[in-house]
Each structure stands twice: as structure tokens, then as C-alpha cells.
Amino acid sequence: AQSVTQPDIHITVSEGASLELRCNYSYGATPYLFWYVQSPGQGLQLLLKYFSGDTLVQGIKGFEAEFKRSQSSFNLRKPSVHWSDAAEYFCAVGSGTYKYIFGTGTRLKVLA
């Protein structure tokens, strides 16, 4: 069955430190992968996406993610975190039938 796992429920980092949020997926075919961010009380905003080609994708707000087929992973990274990055982050896989499967989310806290 298709699934998305975000193993870290909460992550705390200091402002200026680097960040990596983990995402593992289970999907039989070539996946379409997404990262969304949700600020408190807001909807979800698309950060970046992977469809094909270069496995390192760049997104908005200085985020990037790397698709590793051998590890079934699509981890989100940022070299230097800002206090405004505090939010919840969701990984999702597109099933190819216009439906997505979402992970359970990782809540990021940023220490000043």
C-alpha cells in the first residue's frame, strides 16, 4: 500500500542552524513528491515538488529537497533556519490518479 512516513513528530533547532526533515515513502511506481508548509492557523503552502529529472530540487524560502530512490526518501533541507520557519511541514506523494497521500507532519520549533 502507498504510504508516507515522517518519523519526526517534533524538531527543535536554533536559529541559524541547518535543518533536515525526513520523509520516507512507499509507492510502486515513480512517485511525484511534495513538501508543504503550514503556519499556525493557516492553510498549506507548497514549498517544492519533484516529478522527474534532477533529484535535488529547489523550492521557495530557501528550502531544497533530495529524492533518493534507493532509500525511498525525499528529505527537506535548509542550510540556515530563520525564526519565521517555525511551522508544521508535510510531505506528500501523488498517486498519479489526482490523489495525494500525506504524512503526519513534523512540527518545527526555532530557538532564538
Partner 1 sequence: DAGITQSPRHKVTETGTPVTLRCHQTENHRYMYWYRQDPGHGLRLIHYSYGVKDTDKGEVSDGYSVSRSKTEDFLLTLESATSSQTSVYFCAISVIAGGPVTEQFFGPGTRLTVL
Residue 104 binds partner 1 (CB under 8 A): yes
**Count of residues that interact with partner 1, criterion CB under 8 A:** 23
Number of Cα atoms under 13 Å in the Cβ half of residue 17 = 13
Q: In the block, which residue shows the cell 517534533?
A: 10
Using CB under 8 A, which of 14, 28, 40, 43 touches partner 1?
A: 43
Binding track, positions 2-31, relative to partner 1; x by CB under 8 A: ----x--x----------------------
Residue 34 binds partner 1 (CB under 8 A): yes
Please give the C-alpha separations between residue 58 and each of 12, 46, 48, 76, 77, in angstroms, as whole numbers: 23, 12, 7, 10, 10
Residue 44 binds partner 1 (CB under 8 A): yes
